[in-house]
């Protein structure tokens, strides 16, 4: 309804990524797994009933999404136009976790709502999709006992950190701009490998730290799955991220993480998280294409790791 223009986030980003990938003839409708909306029962696996009830108030949703005019909308419209798309992306992340275990890798072109915890939303994150995906895997997929979150969004992932603060099954590596939102000192206690960056960090320093610490994290504890939060708000010029990474740096970053996962034969789920410039959709698409060219996703990657056919999970 035009309200998305009042927020720096490009609400059309996800659909653009799919369009770019189709134009490159990398994907067709036949190989896209459409996300299903997370039900209330799904959400209650992590979220409190009290929190979900609070989302029935437009004021609460306006605060979480940082779009003040949402306050004046009837909640049935807020549910349909704002929260349902977010629930669908959340369902996509849950589905992608199972697909990654079955097929070696999955990408939810959406999701990555890493500021939301079980009882509190914020920073445009209304549902804790990362926590939900991991909890579903722990409870419903045999052989998943450990998970590693590699969060490379420019912002600290305080939502999943709060959720897994006392859970030793989950190892969290977080690389973020130390000077920006949310600055959640309590949540930082959950981070096993914390890399705090300064304003304007550039490619060379950033990529060295990502490679060093991702290798260290995966050598320290071998997980049964990697949840990779691949925010593109690290891009130079992003109005909220405050870093100075080039498009080529983002593509190389994603390659580093997927290569580390493949070398160890660990399934990986990628979500796209933050990114507040119009050109981020093209960069995400280019990164996915590069992963395929490098043999890190696609049939070849699966054959080399003795896993089944891959899937690209998307919300159109």
Q: Judge whether 43 and 52 are in contact, CB under 8 Å.
A: yes
Q: Judge whether 172 and 130 are in contact, CB under 8 Å.
A: no
- Of the residues 7, 47, 114, 115, only one is catalytic, namely 115
Report how far apart, in Å, the C-alpha atoms of 316 and of each of 109, 233, 277, 278, 304 are: 9, 21, 19, 17, 30
Residue given tokens 């590596």 in the structure block: 173
Q: Please report the sign of the dihedral spanned by the C-alpha atoms of residue 167, residue 173, residue 179, residue 180.
A: negative
Report how far apart, in Å, the C-alpha atoms of 135 and of each of 35, 70, 119, 175 are: 18, 31, 15, 23
Q: State residue 196 phi and psi, 5-degree precision.
A: -100, 130
- DSSP letter for each residue of 241-269: T--BB-HHHHHHHHHHHHHHHHHHT--EE
Q: Judge whether 158 and 184 are in contact, CB under 8 Å.
A: yes
Q: Judge whether 241 and 200 are in contact, CB under 8 Å.
A: no
Among this protein's residues, is 115 annotated catalytic?
Answer: yes
Report CA 132 to chain centroid distance, whole Å.
12
Q: Which residues have a catalytic role annotated? A: 115
């Amino acid at each position: 309804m035009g309200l998305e223009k009042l927020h720096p986030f490009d609400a059309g980003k996800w659909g653009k990524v799919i369009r770019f990938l189709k134009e490159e003839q990398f994907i067709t409708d036949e190989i896209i797994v459409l996300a299903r909306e997370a039900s209330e029962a799904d959400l209650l696996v992590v979220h409190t009933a009290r929190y979900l009830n609070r989302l029935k108030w437009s004021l609460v949703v306006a605060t979480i999404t940082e779009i003040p005019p949402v306050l004046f909308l009837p909640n049935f419209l807020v549910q349909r136009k704002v929260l349902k798309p977010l629930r669908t992306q959340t369902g996509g992340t849950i589905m992608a976790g199972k697909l990654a275990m079955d097929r070696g890798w999955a990408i939810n072109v959406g999701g990555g709502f890493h500021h939301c915890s079980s009882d509190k939303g914020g920073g445009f994150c209304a549902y804790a999709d990362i926590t939900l995906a991991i909890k579903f895997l722990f409870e419903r997929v045999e052989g998943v006992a450990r998970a590693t979150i590699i969060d490379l969004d420019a912002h600290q992932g305080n939502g999943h950190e709060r959720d897994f603060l006392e859970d030793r099954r989950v190892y969290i590596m977080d690389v973020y701009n130390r000077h920006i939102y949310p600055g959640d000192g309590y949540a930082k206690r959950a981070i096993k490998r914390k890399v705090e960056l300064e304003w304007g960090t550039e490619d060379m320093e950033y990529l060295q730290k990502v490679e060093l610490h991702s290798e260290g994290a995966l050598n320290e504890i071998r997980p049964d799955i990697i949840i990779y939060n691949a925010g593109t708000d690290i891009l130079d010029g992003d109005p909220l991220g405050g870093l100075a990474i080039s498009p080529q740096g983002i593509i190389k970053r994603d390659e580093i993480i997927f290569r580390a996962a493949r070398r160890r034969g660990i399934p990986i789920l990628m979500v796209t998280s933050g990114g507040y410039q119009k050109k981020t959709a093209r960069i995400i698409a280019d990164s996915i294409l590069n992963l395929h060219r490098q043999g890190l996703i696609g049939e070849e990657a699966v054959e080399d790791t003795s896993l089944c056919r891959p899937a690209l999970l998307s919300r159109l």
